[in-house]
Amino acid sequence: MLTHSQVIVHQNAKLCVLEGALLPFEVRRVYCICGVAVGATRGFHAHKTLEQLLTAPAGRIDVETDDGRGNKELYVLDSPEKVLYVGPSSWHTMTWRSEAVLMVMASQEYDPGDYIRGYEEFLAFAAKERSV
């Protein structure tokens, strides 16, 4: 789901703010990915429980999400105003369309055990989630 930050225009500058209800979970970790070659795609995983907000403070990154039920969405992150919520059980890839920085706010500290890195495993996980 694509949301927007609060935008404050101040002295010809734009301040993009996320606070209060614009943060749908308690942020426990923030990281940036930079130095990625234009055209390269990262991600190719889903999380079991992690919630994330993705934004591109600089440049353009296209994010594709897949819920494992045939619903794929493409989001263009090309402004710090745009913020994408990626919840658990969402297979996602991020493609650098320009020199860009990806900033991720996450609901939990890094836990390799929360990753699902195989697509078949993800489909099985998503199907199991549906049946609960």
Q: Which residues are catalytic?
A: 45
The answer to whether 92 touches 62, Cβ cutoff 8 Å, is no
User: Rounded CA gap, 132 and 122, in Å?
Assistant: 16
Minimum distance, C-beta of residue 57 to ligand TYD, in the bound complex (Å): 16
User: Rounded CA gap, 121 and 65, in Å?
Assistant: 16
CB-nearer residue toward ligand TYD: 1 or 32 = 32
Which tokens is 52 given? 């994330």
Minimum distance, C-beta of residue 102 to ligand TYD, in the bound complex (Å): 8
Minimum distance, C-beta of residue 8 to ligand TYD, in the bound complex (Å): 29
Task: Tell me which residue of 9, 53, 7, 60 sits closest to 30, measured CA to CA.
Answer: 53
- Which residues are near ligand TYD by CB under 6 A? 29, 31, 33, 42-43, 45, 110
CB-nearer residue toward ligand TYD: 6 or 98 = 98
CB-nearer residue toward ligand TYD: 20 or 95 = 95
Q: Please give the backbone phi and psi of residue 127, each rounded to the nearest 5 degrees, phi first.
A: -65, -40
